[in-house]
Amino acid sequence: MIETANAPDLFENLRLELRRGSLVLAVLAALRRERYGYTLRKTLTDHGLEIDENTLYPLLRRLESQGLLSSVWREENKRNKRFYRLSAAGEQMLARLLVEAETIHASLGEILKEQQGVMEQDNGTD
């Protein structure tokens, strides 16, 4: 256990940093199908990735300005809603990012597996 006065703050900062990249990947993946902000947020939450509106909408605008998303305004249920979808460039970027994420996940798994073996040896359980 970390014995510093700011351990909860440190954990929260590192947790948020870890989530940021994952949220970008999740948003891109979820927008392979057209959605508007509320349904995208609900989809992410339903899959265990809660995201605040104050985080989601700036992220959507940034991804669109980077050419990874396209959007259209459309009326639905007598309300104008902005619908987002992955662009062709976004599809390509998502494919590349998924390969990278899988590589990182596999590498982390190997590191953790190796560390577990070291811990078992240290405890005499090998």
Contact 34, 66 (CB under 8 A): no
User: Which residue do the tokens 């940021």 mark?
Assistant: 20
- C-alpha span between 84 and 30 (Å, rounded): 10
State both tokens at 7. 């351990």
Residue 97 belongs to a domain: yes
User: Whole-structure pTM over 0.75, yes or no?
Assistant: yes
Eight-state DSSP code of residue 49: -
Work out the average pLDDT over 82-94.
Answer: 98
Residue 3 belongs to a domain: no
| Tally of domains in the chain | 1
Residue 6 belongs to a domain: no
- C-alpha span between 27 and 63 (Å, rounded): 9
What is the CB-side half-sphere exposure of residue 32 using CA atoms within 13 A?
9
Residue 67 belongs to a domain: yes
Contact 16, 51 (CB under 8 A): no
Residue 17 belongs to a domain: no
Residue 49 belongs to a domain: yes
Residue 14 belongs to a domain: no
Q: Tens digits of per-residue pLDDT, 19-71? A: 888 999 999 999 999 999 999 999 999 999 999 999 999 999 999 999 999 99
- C-alpha span between 14 and 5 (Å, rounded): 16
Q: Tens digits of per-residue pLDDT, 9-28? A: 999 999 889 888 899 999 99
The CATH number given to whatever domain includes residue 75 is 1.10.10.10
Domain extent at residue 117: 23-122
Tell me how many degrees the CA angle 24-27-29 measures, rounded to the nearest 5.
105
